[in-house]
Chains A and B, each alone.
Chain A
Amino acid sequence: MGALQSLPDEFEYRDLSEKTGFSFEQIGILHKRFKQLSHNEDTLRRDDLNTIPDLSCNPIRTQIIEAFFDKRNFHQNGEGTVQEISFEEFLVVMSHFRPPALDMTEEQREIIRREKLRFLFNMHDTDNDGTITLEEYRHVVEELLSRSGALGKETAKGIADAAMLEVASISMGHMEPDEFYEGITFEHFLKILKDIEIETRMNIRFLNMDTTNLCK
């Protein structure tokens, strides 16, 4: 619990709280966790995350970890990746998972939707060219299925292809045979996932309780 001494003061917390919307308690807890992960350093590296035992069984571990080092998830116009992140960036990425407020206007809801979907989109779009190409999509599906045993890569490919065809047929409607669907843009991404109610699903309930001791 040496982490306690190095916690920032109230003022810094207020700053972070305004920026990310977390409460002070939540920031405190997350900060502890951050320290725990980074072994009391001020920055967090990929290796720190790669060694979390709870995470080791997650099929899309690499994508999740990458998302934390992706500049696009820090602010609007970021690009590229970083080697290490500070606590502030850690919090900003976390804030994508904050549950929405109880009463939202339709506009707010739409903004949150876009934000959360953008996060997912960025997970797919590794080369940051604004489209999810078939290769990228295949990669994600392969990773997703990599834990389900006997299914080969071929199956994953087939599924990704079918999914891509589906996107093409939904977003482009009727296509001429010589047309080429080069990849999923964010607009198409919004369109195909418009039914998924992401604002109610992609949430984490950030507790006000300290559970860091329990986590490995």
Chain B
Amino acid sequence: MGGFSQMKLAVNFLTIGLVLLSLPCGSYTEIPPKPPGSVTVLPPVKPAGGPQAFPDAENSNLPVFTMNYPRIQVPFEVTLWVLLASFAKIGFHVYHKITFWVPESCLLISIGLIVGAIMHSVHEEPPAVLSYNVFFLFMLPPIVLESGYFMPTRPFFENVGTVLWFAVVGTLWNSIGIGMSLYAVCQIEAFEVQDINLQENMLFAAIISAVDPVAVLSVFEDVSVNEQLYIVVFGECLFNDAVTVVLYNMFNFVAEMPMVEPVDVFLGVARFFVVGLGGMGFGVIFGFVASFTTRFTSNVREIEPLFIFMYSYLAYLVAELFSISSIMAIVTCALTMKYYVEENVSQRSCTTIRHVVKMLGTISETLIFFFLGVVTITTEHEWNWGYIMFTLLLALVWRGLGVLVLTQIINPFRTIPFNFKDQFILGYGGLRGAISFALVFTLPDSIGRKKLFVTTTICMIMFTVFIQGISIRPLIEFINVRRTNRNLETINVEIHSRLIEHTISGVEDLCGQWSHYYWKDKFLKFNNRILRKILIRDNRAESSIVALYKKLELQNAMEILDTVSGDINAGSSIVPLHEEKKGSGKPKRKFVAADLMNMHDILSKNMYKIRQRTTAYTTKHSLPNDSRTKEILIRRHTSIRRSLRPGSLNGPNEAKSQKYFSLPPGKSLDSKFPPQRLRHTGNDDDETMSEVDYPSARSRFNQPSRSSSRAMLPLRRLNTLTEVPSSSVVDLVDERSGGRGAWGRGMSRLNSSSSDSRIPVPRHDPSNGPDNGSSGDHDSGDHRPEGEQQPLSPTPAWAAEPGERDDSGTQKPLLRPQWKTRKP
């Protein structure tokens, strides 16, 4: 908890610091004349008085010390705000239970409220950054890009009809319904809001129909509700942003018209389609262009990610230029290019892209929520009980009705219909969020009751985010919504998923019924025949089964590697001890585990990562879960594995597989599978090789004369792993080996067994590459009996598992057993 209090202190300090800092800046903001009319504009560049504010007051000598705050004011304040919001986020995550029960958006708003209160108490204006242009050109794109990029593609396309149905028709339903009934409410004299006309009501209704259930999605993620529900909520929130913005622009235009004629309604409908479909078209075009570009970026890895951002932003801007739906454009652009780009770019660029997309999106959203809190306190409100209460009520009612009615219509078309529980959660999960707030805050001042609208929207957001957002987790658990197990990472499951898909599409062909499998089938064919050839540099179609198989195989190899290298590392420094106390004592597993964890970290930081076939679901605030898939540098991995395999690995493996499946001797499972993913290491070759060839003075030095050169080679190679980020593991080892002897004995045993069994390794040259696999195996086959004949004492179970793996026992079936079933 020390960290927590420290963090809190830091946050508080920063808050105070920020407020103090903004004191002087407030006085400077007075200097530029505020442009009349527009809401708030980025404080413009300083007035004509010259850059200096201070020197003028003094004489004309060369100033020794000057301060030019106005010059840096805008970026400075923005930076501070972002920092403050980020610190707040750190603060929440220090103590996990808070974010478990209270959605993050609530916390952000709360912090914003506190900051706002402080600012209010010192009569400080909130920073004038959130204007219409700033919001639409800088804050919104990252948010939607993030959602679009991390959209789980497969479930989305499986449910695309329902998603669009809810997003488009649902939003229209809500806007029109709420707008009309609010207009009716306005006619009641007692509320004194008769001056709000129909257009303004509709505009306002469009604004508050934008659902933004970030909080709900993260809860869904935690309790893993069924896929269909998740994707519908996810897609709805994404696409109804687009619909809302279109409606907003339309009504904004209409609200300023004195009279609305019937023909305008038709034009509006037509425009609605032009805007939506046009946006999609632009998105697809830019997506393909981006994919095509990344085909040629293999030599400029540094700026590879940049293309992704620039193209998506360009799609957004061009769509804005033609005033068609820019959100649609950027979302479809991201969806289109994601698949191809991730094939084309290097693994590092891929990670970078994901990180940056995630980061920008999170920051934007954090800022908006934070700002919402601040504005709630500092802005002037117009409180009208009747209007606000009726808005809350109507929004709830229309949302509920909409979900009920729309599901009744869509259910007959769904393979898996939504049951009543799903519908309830769907309706209840309609939180309002950042988009609504930003839209209402950037309303033009010409709207008479803007203040009332702002107040009402803030109430709406507060109500939904705090009450519904907090209560949805208990509710889901209480009514027991259908859930989906998403940790399906066994080969069998993968094979059978594919088998089912193929069977279904086959049977559909047979009986002449079409569904998404049919279209998926057709699209895949088109994709493989044409698109991939054009857009992807190295167009080898890869089956998902193979991808998963590779992943699992490497995971297992990693584990073994972890174990072995950890042991060897430890062992290499204790060899003297080992000589003294040969063959005694029991293994101490505690240290092994700790050491393993270290090795694990090191490996996962430095090694090649197997590309995931599908993205996991993500919340808005976290990267897709990559921690499970270990990163492995494939070249290093194969060389190490090869060096390990002949003796210790292959022997039992073969014996076993012989028994089970009558594999021919000398062949193991993994030899069937030459690693094919070398292309990604292409650029990293030089680094890799230099690391591999790294001469490890330490291990050489530590080798007692007894250890043969044969045993030394793998050691040396493995030691390089630890050299890369730090030598902490080895240091740790050295230090402990000095202190205690007990575990040393254990380790020494391990060392002996592992090095003994490694004796027959015929070649160690890592530069031989993977293509010598078959010959290496052959050798191993010849030498294996020799290795087996070594008297092996009852093996300590030195394949101690790192702690984090214990939940995934079923996941590494491939090579695990032979470590345990080894018998003396």
Contacts and interface: CB of A to CB of B under 8 A. Distances in A.
B503 interface: yes
A196 B669 contact: no
Contacts of B496: 120, 193, 196
Nearest to A60: B502
A5 B490 CA distance: 51
Contact of A57 (B226, B525, B546): B525
A148 to B, nearest CB: 4
Interface stretch (B277-285, B561-569, B594-602, B651-659): B651-659
Interface in A20-49: 29-30, 33, 36-37, 49
B158 to A, nearest CB: 10
Interface residues of A, number: 75
B506 A55 contact: yes
B415 A99 contact: yes
B813 interface: yes
B488 interface: yes
A158 B656 contact: no
Contacts of A197: 484-485
B contact residues, range: 35 or more
Given A166-B814, A198-B500, A207 B513 contact: yes
A161 B491 contact: no
B125 to A, nearest CB: 55
Contacts of B492: 163, 166-167, 192-193
A159 B491 contact: yes
B419 interface: yes
Contacts of A163: 491-492, 495
Contacts of B552: 162
Interface in B457-506: 484-485, 487-488, 490-493, 495-500, 502-506
A14 interface: no
Given A166-B814, A177-B821, A193-B492, A59 B502 contact: yes
A61 B502 CA distance: 9
A154 B495 contact: no
A214 B518 CA distance: 13
B416 A64 contact: no
18 contacts: A52-B509, A57-B521, A94-B511, A148-B541, A155-B673, A158-B670, A161-B669, A162-B552, A163-B492, A169-B810, A169-B813, A177-B821, A179-B659, A193-B492, A193-B493, A196-B488, A204-B504, A212-B512
A4 interface: no
A99 B416 CA distance: 7
- A30, A120, A148: residue with the most chain B Cβ atoms closer than 10 Å: A148
Nearest to B670: A158
B514 A164 contact: no
A62 B415 CA distance: 26
A134 interface: yes
Interface in B11-29: none
B512 A169 contact: no
Contacts of A103: 419
Contact of B661 (A36, A164, A214): A164
Given A99-B416, A177-B656, A134 B513 contact: no
Contact of A157 (B540, B545, B672): B672
A178 B820 CA distance: 14
B30 interface: no
A99 to B, nearest CB: 5
B543 A140 contact: no
Nearest to A119: B503
A27 to B, nearest CB: 11
A200 B660 contact: no
B494 to A, nearest CB: 9
Interface in B770-824: 810, 813-814, 816-817, 820-821, 823
Given A177-B655, A177-B659, A195 B507 contact: no
